[in-house]
Structure formats: structure tokens, C-alpha cells
Amino acid sequence: MAKPVSIGKIRAELLNILDARTCRQILRELSSKNYETRNQQIKDLHETVITVAEQKWSLRRFAVIFDISHQYLGDMIDGKTGKNGDPFTHVTFHEDVQHQFPEIELTDGYTASFLSRREHQLTTKFASPMENKRFDAPLESASEYIIRPDEEQYLDSHRKAVICPIYVKDSECKYKVDRSDKNTTVLAGICLDSSNVCIAIVVRGKTLVDDIFTKSLREGVDCIVLPNDKGYVCSNHFIIWIMRCPIPFFVKWRKENKLLPTEWGGLQLDGHRAHLTEEIKQALTKAHIRIIQLPAHTSHCFQPLDLSTFHSMKSKVRKQITGFAPKTQADKIQKSVMALQLATTPFANMHAFANAAICQDCTKIPHRSIKAEQQLGNQISKLLGDRMK
């Protein structure tokens, strides 16, 4: 059962959303109660905010307080989750049976028999991975060219067959992805002219396998590999990637298109702290690269890599075959690179930008970015609809 969030954290996050006076009023209500579970705390916070500042309520913004997805927050408020607020998963079912009947072997036969005996209560469905909290990432017109980088963890997060209560709808059937495993994070960038920036693969571990670049990949061409204790991208990784990949890419691109070295380019970033350090800003300014920052909570509508590229990549990762032993560090790295290369073909990149309401005017050299007005309206409507939930 999830523990309630501390008042200190709630106060800090509320001050980013509401004015100080409204925050004090809400905190006064919450502080007067002793919570044993996070669920009741969430419901009381929702009721209090709706009462004193209904126009400020947003699932995406308030989900950050509890480190859960906005869809899951909505489900908890509507009472659509399990009794403890946990998603229904095959793991929960197994643990429950093994806890009550440790002597039982969980075979396919037992599972089928269990379902047969409780067919009026349970059913099988395919559960989707529960969306994790997104990093916050004006749709602006870029200059001559624009690159959109983003990172995505390569995890075993695909639809799974699970057992859940019979009243659960397909849209509510989700499972929580374990993100504490041996992660591999892909830091990628695509360009509006349909080309790609060399990617960075952040792997969990302090050392790299010696033969990854001698037997398969080309360092600095196919990818660069960066070790990390947890497998996540930090500001040090991002500045290394900026210096070794996007900046040289811009220099080469200017030469190929006969542009002046001082011609400005655009690099679209979300609002994650690791992407916007002073060191990164200074390096990009010196290289005549303008940062185009997406407003908070809009990356799911206007980040091309989120809209199509990473989804396509994940669907291809498991199908790739490498020459390394399965599930080793080298195997994960090469699978990630191979899958991303298949997901970032020229037409796939143009389609990703088009989904984010940006197209290229091919009548000019170099090609210029233009807004796709109809798609822009669709994405804005989607964004506003999400915030009204």
C-alpha cells in the first residue's frame, strides 16, 4: 500500500502551480488530517483544489506531486484502481496466490482452473504498460533547420496478458513497468531535413565491454556509449552528447548547404533540468544554436520523438538479432542502435515532425520549417483536452 506524500513535498510542488495564498488554504485542510494511504490523500487534495481553485486543476500538473502518471491519477480519483490503488498485473496475482498457498505450483493448468472457478469474478485481458511521469519538455518556427533530441529508456514494456477483475475495462487495464532494472537509455536527435544525429546510449554499469566497437558498431558514427550507475541520462551525459554529436552535426550541415558558420540553427528541448544547464546553454550559444524549449507538459503533443519514433523503435527492439549473447550489455546496445536506425528513416523522420505540426518547405534551399496549421490545431485541442481532465 503506497505511503502518503510528505506535506513538505506537497507544499513545494503546489507553489509551482498555485499562488501562495491558495497553497496555504489547501495545506491547512490537508495538515488537519492524518493519512495512512496515498489514495485518500489524493482524493482529499483533489476535492480541496476543486473547491478553492477549480480552474487550476490539471491531472498532468498534480500527478507530479505523487510521482505517478496523469492517467493513473485520474483512475485513482475515479476509483477505478484496485483497493490499494495498485494496477492489476500478473505479478500481483502470482504474489497473492503464493502468499496464501505457498505449496501450490503456479502452472498453466492451475491458472486455467482458477479462472474457471471464478469466471464470474475474473477474466483475462491484455494490459498496457502504465505511462511513466514524463519529463516536462511555444511551438516556434525554427530558422533554416531544426533538430529535436530526446531520450527514451529501452525497457521490456509491451502488452502482457494479465488476470484482472471482470469489471475492469480494456482502457483501465495497465501494469506498472519496473524501471529499476538494468536500464539502457537512448539519447537521440532527428533533423527536419530527415537526417539523424549520432545517438548516445547510456548503459548501467561503470565499465563498457571492450569489443562493442571492434566487432559491431562504429564509435562516433553509429553511436557513442556512456556508462552510468543507474542507466539514466544526467547533465554530464547530455553535455558530452551535445559536444560530440549535435554541434559537429551543425558544423557539417552548414558546410554541405553552403551556409555561413554563424548561421543560426535550432535545437528543440524539453524542460528537463539536465538539458538546460548553464554549461549547455553557453556551448550551444557559442556554436550558434538556438534553444527552442517546449512549455511544461506539452512534449506528448509536440515532441516528434515521443509521438512516433520511440514507439516505432520499441516495437522493433525485441526483433533484432545481434552476434552477442542475449541480454548482455553489448547485445542491448546493438539492439537499441539497430532498432532506432530502422525507426528513423528519412520518411519516418518527416512523418514524426508532421505529427508535431511542423513540415519542411522543399522549394527553398536549405529547406525551411513551416507550421502545419490543421495538425497544429488538432494537437492544441488534444493538449487542452488533457488539461481539462
Each of the 389 residues of the chain gets a pLDDT tens digit; together they read 467 888 888 888 888 888 888 888 888 888 888 887 777 888 888 888 888 888 778 887 788 888 776 767 777 777 665 444 444 444 455 555 665 566 667 677 776 776 677 666 666 676 666 644 322 222 222 223 455 566 655 444 556 666 666 666 776 666 665 554 456 788 899 988 888 999 998 888 777 776 778 777 888 888 998 888 777 788 888 999 999 999 999 999 889 888 898 988 889 888 788 888 899 999 999 999 999 888 888 888 888 888 888 888 888 888 888 888 888 888 888 888 999 999 999 999 989 999 988 888 878 777 778 888 898 888 888 888 765 55
Residues 224, 245: contact at Cβ < 8 Å? yes
What does the alpha-carbon distance between residue 201 and residue 198 come to, in Å, rounded to a whole number? Answer: 10
Q: What is the pTM of this model?
A: 0.59
The 8-class DSSP code of residue 307 comes to I
Quickly list H helices, 54-146.
Answer: 59-66, 70-77, 90-100, 108-117
The 8-class DSSP code of residue 175 comes to E
Output the CA torsion sign for 339, 340, 346, 350. Answer: positive
Residues in contact with 83: Cβ distance below 8 Å, sequence separation at least 6, in sequence order? none
Which of left, alpha, beta for 220 (phi over 0: left; psi -120 to 50: alpha)?
A: left
Burial classification of residue 53, based on how many CB atoms lie within 10 Å of its CB (0-12 exposed, 13-18 middle, 19 or more buried): middle
The set of cell numbers assigned to 164 is: 484482472
